[in-house]
């Protein structure tokens, strides 16, 4: 049903008349590392402008709904990060974001081991979000099944002060203040945001304070220095955990009793600074130097039963305490000139990233008191760093042809120093190293001014993260030295269309074959271990459309069909306390966490001022939740309606808005927890919700 409706919408809009005045062509840099029109890049890349008027604008998932191939789910759980996967990569993650690379203003938000988070992404000060899919993601290194990069807006001329507040159902409240402008050679963008929620479900209240500042200094005509500062504080965000299917049907707002018993919650605090130096050397050469440093602390209270911790000496406890220091840099040289008389660009650089983590574990009880910090059960120093070299080139060999290619060599080293050694808990210290070279190549043919065809191919790799390499399946001491990085062969064919002045469409087919995919091996005593699966495959089709149907009337639609399967049989565990894989998984079983289909459509009316109105549809197909494929979350479609009025008066611009989501008030499963050992796979989405707000700009 989703497929027919999405394709019908695309067929209808392809014949619609375009608006008289076209919008400015977007520019992207993530695919090529230089400013390019996405229409001229032989890769699937989208740029989402900001701000999307009339939304809460707190979660990155709000920005990514319209991009094909991207699954971005608001989990209604601020103790866990937004759930994001691209073409099925990253879907296995139960916390954090894995398998895809994350950046803010060129600064990594993904650690060297491949695990990242987006809680510090400040959307209120952002200009745009870029999403790169397919083979060229490999030029960003380890765990690059795709790339998401947020760009903070530069200062404006004339200066602006912005104030915004929005609130609605479930106690949601967002308030923000932003100042941006230019003062001589300096431009600035400074933002402070506050968000709080009572939560849709019981035991899911949260609060988040964030600040972001971007300061640019034009030292001279050829030199610019940019400073990016960021801080976020999330104190005691309640964790409602998942629900079983029976619990979901009985009451989707409830929580598992252990969430209340152990007061499951998480606190996170992060500060980060980055400096970027851009130097124009001459007409052909330029240099960019970036360095960054940050600190992040996390304390999380889990629901591991008291008896499990007492009975098993190897259990690391029910309280996780992490202190992280991380940093690194990237130096890149770019040459723009001609080769054989044709435009040519070459970018080459080196990157280094380092994470130093002090991980401690404690019991979550003291006597009969539960949900408190007790005796220590884990103490280790973990370090991981990467050192990469990369180069990529773009050559317009003819008016109608562009070639793009590159390669990256990555080396990732892990070292763990165990400082908690006791009877039944041996020394788990160890080191391991991974390395890979990942080439990519693409070609674009300008078949007509309104049609560009492209093809690309590449290799990629993904190492295990520290949480996956930390324990061995045979319960021996040391890191899981037997785990291999997943190796990827990735290919894509696509067409990009410009059927009208203010109209674009795209179609892409893709396939990615992975060797040594990671999956759960054992689950015992609070320690989950992993194994390599010989072969897996992700393949599918993406379609998108964005165009003006008439003056001030715009239609946006996207559709994804994705088949992600294990191609080799293997054994796995299906319950907590499983000491060894004992249950067969057949070849052809779907990889969990990956919806079969996704669709999005929106029809929006409105210009720079006056009345605004919009109708949106989100549709998601069935999603498997475990490796066996024995359970799945059913598909659904939900609709949202928005409206408002924008008016200018002198230096003031006021945007008033309201919206209703899930108009039909359907009970649906918004996200899933893959392979949950207790069978609590399901995270319900809210029923009908309301939001009203106002954003004010003073120039």
pLDDT digits (tens, 9 = 90+) for 68-84: 999 998 888 998 878 89
Instruction: Compute the average pLDDT of residues 545-562.
Output: 95
**pLDDT above 90 for 575:** no
- Could you report the per-residue pLDDT of 518-527, keeping only the tens digit for each? 888 887 666 7
Q: For 618, phi and psi rounded to 5 degrees?
A: -120, 130
Average pLDDT score over residue span 310-335: 93
Tens of pLDDT along 269-318? 999 999 999 999 999 999 999 999 999 999 999 999 999 899 888 888 99
The pLDDT, as a whole number, for residue 171 is 95
Question: CB 307: neighbour CB atoms within 10 A?
Answer: 8
Euclidean distance between CA atoms 494 and 41, whole angstroms: 11
Mean pLDDT of 225-245: 96
Helical (H) or strand (E) element with 62: helix 61-64
Q: 576: pLDDT confidence band, cut at 50, 70 and 90?
A: low
**Percent of the residues in the chain that have a pLDDT greater than 90, as a whole number:** 78
User: What pLDDT digit, counting tens, does each position of 614-656 carry?
Assistant: 999 999 999 999 999 999 999 999 999 999 999 998 899 999 9
CA distance 493 to 507: 8
Residue 472 confidence (pLDDT) = 83
| 456: pLDDT strictly greater than 50 | yes
Q: What is the mean pLDDT of the chain?
A: 91
pLDDT band at 494 (very low <50, low <70, confident <90, very high): very high
Residues 6+ apart with CB under 8 A from 539: 509, 510, 511, 512, 562, 563, 564
Mean pLDDT along residues 483-507: 95
| CATH number of the domain residue 8 falls in | 2.40.170.20
Q: Report the range of poorest mean pLDDT among 518-532, 588-602, 667-681.
A: 518-532
Neighbours of 623 (CB within 10 A): 25
Residue 52's pLDDT band, with cuts at 50, 70 and 90, is low
Rounded distance between C-alpha atoms, residue 165 and residue 167, angstroms:
7
Per-residue pLDDT, 7: 35
Whole-number pLDDT of residue 581: 86
Model confidence over 351-386: pLDDT tens digits?
A: 999 999 999 999 999 999 999 999 999 999 999 999
pLDDT for the residue numbered 259: 95
pLDDT at 21: 38
pLDDT of the residue at 69? 95
Q: Which residue range is the domain that position 478 belongs to?
A: 2-698
pLDDT, position 22: 43
212 burial level (CB within 10 Å; 0-12, 13-18, 19+): buried
* Segment 171-199 mean pLDDT: 96
45-54, 132-141, 405-414, 424-433: segment of lowest average pLDDT: 45-54
**Does residue 231 carry a pLDDT above 80?**
yes
pLDDT computed for residue 11 by the predictor:
35
Q: How many separate domains does the chain show?
A: 1
Mean pLDDT of all residues in 221-250: 96
Mean pLDDT over 241-246 rounds to 94
pLDDT of 53 > 80? The answer is no
d(C-alpha 76, C-alpha 675), whole Å = 19
Read off the pTM.
0.93
pLDDT of residue 150 exceeding 70, the answer is yes
**Residue 210 confidence (pLDDT) above 80:** yes
111 backbone dihedrals φ, ψ, rounded to 5°: -75, 165
Q: For residues 181 and 126, what is the distance between their CA atoms, to the nearest angstrom?
A: 14
Q: Residues 89-93: what's their mean pLDDT?
A: 85
pLDDT computed for residue 15 by the predictor: 33
Number of neighbours of residue 322 by Cβ within 10 angstroms: 16
Res 285: pLDDT: 97
Tell me the C-alpha distance between 65 and 57, whole Å.
12
- Segment (H or E) for 467: helix 466-469
Q: Residue range 93-121: average pLDDT? A: 89
């Amino acid at each position: 049903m989703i497929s027919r409706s999405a394709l019908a919408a695309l067929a209808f809009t392809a014949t619609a008349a375009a608006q008289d005045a076209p919008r400015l062509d977007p520019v992207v840099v993530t695919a090529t590392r230089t400013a390019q029109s996405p229409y001229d890049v032989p890769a699937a890349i989208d740029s989402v402008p900001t701000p999307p008027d009339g939304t809460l604008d707190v979660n990155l998932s709000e920005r990514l709904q319209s991009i094909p191939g991207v699954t971005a789910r608001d989990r209604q759980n601020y103790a866990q990060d937004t759930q994001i996967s691209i073409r099925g990569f990253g879907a296995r993650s139960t916390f954090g974001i894995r398998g895809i690379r994350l950046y803010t203003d060129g600064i990594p938000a993904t650690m060297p081991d491949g695990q990242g988070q987006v809680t510090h992404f400040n959307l209120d000060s952002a200009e745009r979000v870029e999403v790169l899919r397919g083979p060229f993601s490999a030029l960003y290194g380890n765990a690059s099944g795709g790339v998401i990069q947020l760009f903070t807006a530069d200062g404006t001329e004339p200066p602006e002060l912005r104030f915004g507040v929005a609130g609605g159902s479930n106690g949601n409240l967002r308030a923000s203040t932003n100042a941006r402008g230019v003062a001589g050679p300096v431009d600035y963008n400074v933002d402070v945001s506050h968000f709080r929620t009572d939560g849709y479900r019981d035991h899911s209240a949260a609060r988040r304070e964030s600040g972001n500042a971007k300061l640019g200094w034009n030292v001279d005509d050829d030199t610019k220095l940019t400073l990016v500062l960021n801080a976020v504080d999330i104190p005691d965000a309640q964790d409602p955990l998942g629900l079983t299917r029976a619990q979901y049907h009985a009451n989707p707002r409830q929580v598992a009793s252990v969430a209340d018993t152990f007061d499951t919650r998480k606190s996170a605090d992060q500060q980060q600074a980055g400096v970027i130096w851009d130097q124009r050397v001459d007409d052909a050469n330029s240099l960019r130097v970036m360095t960054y440093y940050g600190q992040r602390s996390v304390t999380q209270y889990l629901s591991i039963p008291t008896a499990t911790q007492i009975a098993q000496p190897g259990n690391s406890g029910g309280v996780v305490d992490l202190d992280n220091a991380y940093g690194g840099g990237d130096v890149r040289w770019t040459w723009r000139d001609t080769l054989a008389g044709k435009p040519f660009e070459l970018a080459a650089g080196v990157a280094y990233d380092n994470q130093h983590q002090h991980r401690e574990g404690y019991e979550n009880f003291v006597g009969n008191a539960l949900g408190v910090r007790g005796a220590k059960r884990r103490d280790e120093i973990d370090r991981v760093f990467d050192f990469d070299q990369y180069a990529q080139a773009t050559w317009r060999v003819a008016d109608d042809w562009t070639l793009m290619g590159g390669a990256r060599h990555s080396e990732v080293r892990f070292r763990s120093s165990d400082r908690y050694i006791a009877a039944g808990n041996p020394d788990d210290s160890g080191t391991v190293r991974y390395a890979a070279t990942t080439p990519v190549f693409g070609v674009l043919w300008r078949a007509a001014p309104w049609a560009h065809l492209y093809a690309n191919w590449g290799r990629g790799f993904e190492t295990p993260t520290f949480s996956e390499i930390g324990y061995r399946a045979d319960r021996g001491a040391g890191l899981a030295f037997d785990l291999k990085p997943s190796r990827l062969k990735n290919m894509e064919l696509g067409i990009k269309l410009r059927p009208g002045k203010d109209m674009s469409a795209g179609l892409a087919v893709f396939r990615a074959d992975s060797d040594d995919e990671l999956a759960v091996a054992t689950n015992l005593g609070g320690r989950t271990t992993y194994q390599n699966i010989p072969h897996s495959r992700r393949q599918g089709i993406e379609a998108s459309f964005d165009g003006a149907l008439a003056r001030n009337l715009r239609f946006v639609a996207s559709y994804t069909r994705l088949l992600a399967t294990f191609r080799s049989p293997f054994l796995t565990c299906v319950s907590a306390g499983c000491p060894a894989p004992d249950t067969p998984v057949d070849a052809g079983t779907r990889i969990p966490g990956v919806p079969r289909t996704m669709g999005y459509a929106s029809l929006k009316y409105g210009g720079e001022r006056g009345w605004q109105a919009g109708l949106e549809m989100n549709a998601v197909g069935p999603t498997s939740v475990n490796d066996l494929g024995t359970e799945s979350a059913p598909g659904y479609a939900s609709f949202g309606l928005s409206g408002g009025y924008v008016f200018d008066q002198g230096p003031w611009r006021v945007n008033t808005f309201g919206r209703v989501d899930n108009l039909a008030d359907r009970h649906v499963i918004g996200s899933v927890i893959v392979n949950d050992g207790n069978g609590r796979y399901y995270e319900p989405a809210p029923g009908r919700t309301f939001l009203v707000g106002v954003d004010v700009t003073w120039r």
